[in-house]
Amino acid sequence: MSEEPQANEEAQDDELEPKKAGMLMPIIFAVVAAVGGGALGMMFLGPAVAPALAARAENGGGGGHGGGHGGGHGSGPVETFHNLENLVVNPAESQGNRFLLVSVAIEPHDVAMVETLASMDVTFRHMLLTTLGAKTVEELADISRRPALVAELQDSLEHIVGKGTLHRIYLPQYVIQ
């Protein structure tokens, strides 16, 4: 009788042995592939791509695919917008349970005015938070109301800088939670 349980244990050990060996090979292969791929990337791909990435970073990171507003040949890219990023607004009647995360890009008629707009950053932020904070979640979430909202924001900002000085207002980031 004592031989039977011992034989069962040996049979179970023999069954586990191939399973362990079968799991070991894919793990070894994955580790070798990760280390080898990293080494090849560092030795060959990194040095080949580094000059292009350094040139892109030196030129402002634009990537060279257009998007500019003309053929100016100054010392650097001309800023045509004043950006107000990551404004967090609690909509009216939301009891602080909902919020709007919005970024606003302001395009003046005169590009030289971008620096002036930057000096009014705090005033703009206050006006935008006040205007957007007066809206309910339903008003802010309704996409059909977005053009009217943008027009209202432009009017409120032109109240600060003067009527007709701003060409357009953009909302590149608009997230309601």
Residues 118-130 have a mean pLDDT of 92
Neighbour order of strands in the sheet with 100-108: 82-89, 100-108, 166-176
Residue 135 near residue 92, CB atoms below 8 Å: yes
The CATH number, out of the four listed (1.10.490.20, 3.30.479.30, 3.30.465.10, 1.10.10.60), of the domain defined by the range 82-176: 3.30.479.30
Q: Give the pLDDT score at 73.
A: 47
| Run of H or E residues at 27 | helix 3-40
Q: What is the model's pTM?
A: 0.55
Residue 120 near residue 165, CB atoms below 8 Å: no
Cα–Cα dist 14/11, whole Å: 5
Give per-residue pLDDT as tens, 95-116. Answer: 989 999 999 999 998 888 888 8
Considering only CA atoms, which of 127, 122, 174 is closest in space to residue 147? 174
Q: What angle do CA 55, 60, 62 make, to 5 degrees?
A: 90
Task: Give the residue, 1 or 131, on which the prediction is more confident.
Answer: 131
Q: Give the pLDDT score at 77.
A: 61
Whether the per-residue pLDDT at 71 is higher than 50: the answer is no
What are the residues facing 176 on neighbouring strands?
Answer: 100
The identity of residue 117, as a single letter, is L
Q: What angle do CA 131, 134, 135 make, to 5 degrees?
A: 100
Give per-residue pLDDT as tens, 8-51. Answer: 555 555 555 556 666 777 788 777 877 777 766 666 666 666 66
Whether the per-residue pLDDT at 65 is higher than 50: the answer is no
Cα–Cα dist 133/140, whole Å: 10
